Structure 1
Amino acid sequence: MDKSNHLDSVIKTHQITKEENLLKKHLEKKDEIKEALKEKYGSNIYSPFNSGSYAKNTAINTKFDFDLVSPFKRNAFGSNGTLKEMYEDVFDFLYEKYKNDAEVKKQKVSIGLEFYTDKDGDQIKVDVVPGREFNQDQYLSDENLNLYVYYKYGNFDAGSERIKTNIKAQISNIKDRATNEKDSIRKIIRLLKVWKSNKGTYPTKSFFLELITIKAFDNCEINGNLWERLKTILEYIRDNVTNESFNLKDPGNSSNDLTSTLTTSERQQLSDDMKNMLKRIEENDENIKTYFPENTKFIDEDSNKNGNRTSGIMPVPPPKLNFG
């Protein structure tokens, strides 16, 4: 079989635009929450914006993120207001507004809204990330924010008020690459997200996979067809992620090292998974379908349009849709 043709089909069948109605519902709910926050906090809040995989154009239709960052002014909660007070105030507001329509819960640095299943069987999920500018009226020029940690996040303990980040810089880290390289980076990231989603619960976060893909592009000669490029990335992860000196700097704050979000055993697990995957695919090309399955919900329409379906073994059914 042609592994690159298969991977191309994986990407096409996982395009988020194929879930047009569900995507529209998420966009509408995101806009509704954004307007509610602006109405509630008025001049104390800058315009909230989406920061997840949809904003980076790396989303897949079996799971993508709608993270709504809400940047507050430095004195929005009083001249001596704390980040904890900001976080709790936003939670209380969202809970009171949506408690009859959604489960509203406190998460690591965000507030999650999981809306109850609608008449179409769809569930909408939006995570609101409150952040506060460093100094009064400087956010529009430097875009730096401080986040509150509700419970432990990597090496940040619960109650920490010291996560400095620049979320727009994280988005630009992918969006501002050269056109051809950017397209390759996004394809590889989408494929790794398909792999991660197919595994179910997995300790490695999507942001980690994004950063390690970009670092591989910065440190390796990556060329050839889609499979050859993906193979180079998988080998890079296998060979480097367990090294003690390896680090993944947050483009929003170079003092944040994303490798600290994984334990030593979790990094070893990621390396071993890459090793085993590469070995099995080398043994039999058909095994690539186990690790990178097409989304069977859309496979027929793409094979009919393009005539490039790579079947022979029935593809693995996609995991349950889980937007958010």
Structure 2
Amino acid sequence: MLDKTPLGNLPPAPGVGYKPQHFSDVMQDPAPVRWLEIHAENYMGDGGRPLAQLRALSERFPISVHGVGLSIGGDGPLDQDHLARLAHLVDWLNPASFSEHLAWSTHDGAFLNDLLPLPYTDATLARVAAHIDEVQDRLGRRMLLENPSSYLAFAESTWSETEFLAELVRRTGCGLLLDVNNVFVSATNLGFAPRDYVDAFPLDSVGEIHVGGHDEDADDHGAPLLIDSHGRAVADPVWTLLEHTLARSGPRPVLVEWDNDVPAWPVLCDEAQRAARALAVLPR
């Protein structure tokens, strides 16, 4: 197993998900944003404006590459063409961090435009660990794995989610990306206490923390149902959960995700400033 001790080179400061419409604003007045995240699949082409802008951004900011298409939890083998394109991007960009989701999105050669859940069983654990090892060996770096937002639980699961993630860290040496909004969404939908989840999480392995917006709905029985939409400001209870998480983990890079109905740059900066305030009160 590769020596993958570093969790990444992102500063313990606010970052945001980069959107091309914000390029000029980011370059001219980024405060308080200290780092940026991109989705890998948007930058796997051979050139053009997206890569030119990314090169310019990478000269000024640490970049986190977040994958959404590897299907780490899929039944079949990893898509080697996709992995090769990802490796090419990572080789030239040399990002400060790379992450993917604990989810699957492919079946029988078809790609499903969603991040689908997994049963937490020994067989799933072995398959996901093998896929993580393959990715880390191909990229030559440690990856972070993100906890999912859940809308159902599998009766066949024999591991809790936090135990499953901790065991993946032990087996593969990967790090973790703790999405606090995902915790809040899953806790509401599945009926557990979000602080208990955070308290059980292997926080020493966390290289990034994410927050984002969610939509509120109700299930067929009228119970609250939250959807991880990334299309609005972060809800107050999620900020409170972030503060609890940081009090336990210490300073970490904190990303504000806003991928749909993307606001003007000053609105996104206001969210990043709130993350900065949550970090500022921590002992150094």
TM-score, normalised with respect to structure 1: 0.27
Higher share of residues assigned helix: 1
Who wins on radius of gyration, i.e. which is larger?
Answer: 1
Higher share of residues assigned strand: 2
